[in-house]
Amino acid sequence: KQEVTQIPAALSVPEGENLVLNCSFTDSAIYNLQWFRQDPGKGLTSLLLIQSSQREQTSGRLNASLDKSSGRSTLYIAASQPGDSATYLCAALARDYKLSFGAGTTVTVRA
């Protein structure tokens, strides 16, 4: 059974600092890995999707890397802003059609 872990569980940084969020998964036979953002009481917003054949994806200030062999993905957010405060979730899609989520990293960016 796929286990997805996100460390740290919470992170507080001053505005302008770069954020590094970690995601690890136990079964490297994934189809893809997706990063989401969740605001309090809201749904999930898709940020980046990395297919298993890719090493990274970029969108604006966001960059996500994927290392299947070590079972790791990292989300980088450059020059953080207070509006980046949210919970960030990673999810690994396995070849048995099941999507497994990490518990999330709650980010607070202080103005």
Partner 1 sequence: EAQVTQNPRYLITVTGKKLTVTCSQNMNHEYMSWYRQDPGLGLRQIYYSMNVEVTDKGDVPEGYKVSRKEKRNFPLILESPSPNQTSLYFCASSLSYGLGYTFGSGTRLTVV
Residues that bind partner 1 (CB under 8 A): 31-32, 34, 36, 41-46, 49, 51, 89, 91, 93, 97-104
Q: Based on CB atoms, which residue is closest to partner 1, 33 or 77? A: 33
Supply the minimum distance, in Å, between the C-beta of residue 17 and partner 1. 26
- Do 84 and 107 form a contact (C-beta atoms < 8 A)? yes
Supply the minimum distance, in Å, between the C-beta of residue 19 and partner 1. 20
Closest CA to 67 of 110, 33, 107, 100: 33
Q: Based on CB atoms, which residue is closest to partner 1, 32 or 85? A: 32
The two structure tokens encoding residue 95: 């070849």
Q: Based on CB atoms, which residue is closest to partner 1, 76 or 101? A: 101
Supply the minimum distance, in Å, between the C-beta of residue 15 and partner 1. 28
Q: Tokens 């099941």 appear where?
A: 98
Q: Is 108 helix (H, G, I), strand (E, B) or coil?
A: strand
Q: Based on CB atoms, which residue is closest to partner 1, 57 or 80? A: 57
Supply the minimum distance, in Å, between the C-beta of residue 80 and partner 1. 24
List Cβ neighbours of 1 (8 Å cut-off, separation of 6 or more): none
